[in-house]
Structures are given as structure tokens and as C-alpha cells.
């Protein structure tokens, strides 16, 4: 199967920002999308919007820190649409702060969501992809891992852990499975809402030239639409003005 039309694509963190833009774009191009996040009212509204536009969408409450929820997301794709072609592991939190502040709970949340959440997605989807003989993992990482700056070390660490695991997965995957990591630079989303004021002040300056989430969605669509034998491994999408 190549192109986007007819593919079954599950997206985590689908209720806002990059996940929402990705679900909308892929559904517009004919994918059947399966939406996961914790805020179900957002998922319900997004699914209704996609269906009204003539697309196909299902949703299920998914907390990526719970392994069973990822099984539920993958299970819904199979139950509703018979298969899963792409898992976009996009849910993420950026609770950035100076290490001296010892915000250990924030570190743990970033590890749980950004790293373990992706691993739970792999655990849920890999056996299904093996059974099908095909499948595509798309993992949202970050330019924070490519250019490490103060306040972002734990966040960048989680993203680079996913980058490393994705490359290992790609090498183990064989010729049926594809693995893509997408590294967005600054993107205008709700991502900074939970940051502390000091961190937010720094990030807000970057956000002045931030991309629309659609730019990242188009990059993901590019990877998904390639023919089966073409694995787009690594995409960096940042604002032209970003250092």
C-alpha cells in the first residue's frame, strides 16, 4: 500500500497542536484516523469535524503513561477499521526548568509521557505490524535534542532517547516496517501553557517566529505517503529564523 488514501493512522496527543493538525491533514487526504489523548471532549469534537467533512475518525481516551491505553488505541483501530498502518506517537510534555530547581516530578512526567509513552506504543503496535507484515512508526521528537540549551536537558534527553530507540527499531524492523522521527523546531501550540514563567519567557521569544502545526503535519504526511519501500528516517522542520 502506498499513499495516504485508505491507511489507518492512530495519533496520540491528537486533541491539540501538531497531533490535531496531523489527524486533520491525513483524514483530508483519505486516511482513517484513530485519535487518542486524555481530553476526550477535544477528541470527540475533532472526530465530529472530520466526519462532517466526509472523513473517517474514531477516538478513545488514551493516557500514554498507561500501557493498557495504548493497547486500547491500537485495538480500536483494528476493531473499527480492520488494521493499523501508522502509529504517530506525538503526545508530549515540555516541563522545562533549570536542573537546580530539582523538579523531579516534572522530570518523571516527561520520562513517562515522552519516552515510556512511545515505548508503550511500540509494544502495542509492533506485534500487529509484524502480523500484518507492514506498518509505520512516526515519532515526534524535537530540535531540542539536536541543539541542547539550558533548561531543556531532561526534555531533550527524553526526545533523544526516542531518537535512539527509533533508530534501533528501524534496524531491527526488517523490510516490512518503516520508522520515522520528526524533529519540529518552535511550533505555535498549547505546548508552553504548563511551563514555569521563567522558562516560558525564554520560549515565548522563540515563539514569535514559530511555525504553524500544519508545517509539521505536512512533514508527517510526506513520510506516510511514500511507497512501502521508501523509509523517510529523519525530518527536521524548524522556522527559517530559528538559530
Ligand X SMILES: NC(=O)c1ccc[n+]([C@@H]2O[C@H](COP(=O)([O-])OP(=O)(O)OC[C@H]3O[C@@H](n4cnc5c(N)ncnc54)[C@H](OP(=O)(O)O)[C@@H]3O)[C@@H](O)[C@H]2O)c1
Stretch 81-140 residues interacting with ligand X (CB under 6 A): 90-94, 113, 140
Tell me whether residue 155 is one of the annotated catalytic residues.
yes
In the chain, what is the straight-line distance between the N-terminal and C-terminal CA atoms, in Å?
Answer: 38
CB of 176 to ligand X, least distance (A): 26
What are residue 59's DSSP bridge partners? 35
Residue 171 or 240: the one with the smaller Cβ distance to ligand X is: 240
Q: Does residue 189 bind ligand X (CB under 6 A)?
A: yes
The residue ranges of DSSP E strands in the chain, in sequence order, are: 8-12, 32-37, 56-61, 86-89, 135-140, 177-184, 234-237
Q: Which of 57, 84, 125, 187 binds ligand X (CB under 6 A)?
A: 187
CA-CA distance, 30 to 3, in Å (whole number)? 9
CA distances from 38 to 13, 63, 113, 167, 215 (A): 8, 6, 12, 28, 24
Active-site pick, 47, 155, 159, 177: 155
Q: Which one among 32, 191, 195, 224 touches ligand X, defined by CB under 6 A?
A: 191
The answer to the question of residue 162 lying near ligand X (CB under 6 A) is no
| Other beta carbons less than 10 A from residue 90's beta carbon | 29
Q: Is 22 in the site for ligand X (CB under 6 A)?
A: no
Chain positions contacting ligand X, by CB under 6 A: 12-13, 15-19, 37-39, 42, 62-65, 90-94, 113, 140, 142, 184, 186-187, 189-191, 213
Residues with catalytic annotation? Answer: 155
Amino acid at each position: 500500500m502506498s499513499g495516504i488514501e485508505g491507511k489507518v493512522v492512530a495519533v496520540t496527543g491528537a486533541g491539540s497542536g501538531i497531533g490535531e493538525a496531523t489527524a486533520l491533514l491525513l483524514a483530508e487526504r483519505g486516511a482513517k484516523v484513530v485519535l487518542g489523548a486524555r481530553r476526550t471532549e477535544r477528541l470527540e469534537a475533532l472526530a465530529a469535524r472530520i466526519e462532517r467533512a466526509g472523513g473517517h475518525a474514531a477516538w478513545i481516551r488514551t493516557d500514554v503513561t498507561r500501557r493498557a491505553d495504548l493497547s486500547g488505541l491500537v485495538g480500536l483501530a483494528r476493531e473499527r477499521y480492520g488494521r493499523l498502518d501508522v502509529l504517530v506517537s506525538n503526545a508530549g510534555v515540555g516541563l522545562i526548568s533549570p536542573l537546580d530547581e530539582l523538579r523531579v516530578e516534572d522530570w518523571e512526567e516527561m520520562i513517562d509521557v515522552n519516552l515510556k509513552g512511545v515505548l508503550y506504543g511500540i509494544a502495542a503496535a509492533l506485534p500487529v505490524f509484524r502480523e500484518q507484515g507492514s506498518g509505520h512508526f512516526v515519532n515526534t521528537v524535537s530540535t531540542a535534542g539536536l541543539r541542547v540549551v539550558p533548561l531543556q536537558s531532561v526534555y531533550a534527553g527524553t526526545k533523544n532517547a526516542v531518537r535512539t530507540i527509533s533508530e534501533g527499531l528501524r534496524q531491527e524492523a526488517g523490510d516490512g516496517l518503516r520508522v520515522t522521527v520528526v524533529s519540529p523546531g518552535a511550533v505555535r501550540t498549547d505546548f508552553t501553557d504548563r511551563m514555569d514563567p521563567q522558562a516560558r519567557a525564554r520560549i515565548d521569544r522563540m515563539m514569535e517566529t514559530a511555525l504553524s502545526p500544519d508545517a509539521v503535519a505536512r512533514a508527517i504526511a510526506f513520510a506516510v505517503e511514500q511507497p512501502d519501500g521508501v523509509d523517510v528516517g529523519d525530518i527536521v522542520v524548524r522556522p527559517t529564523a530559528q538559530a
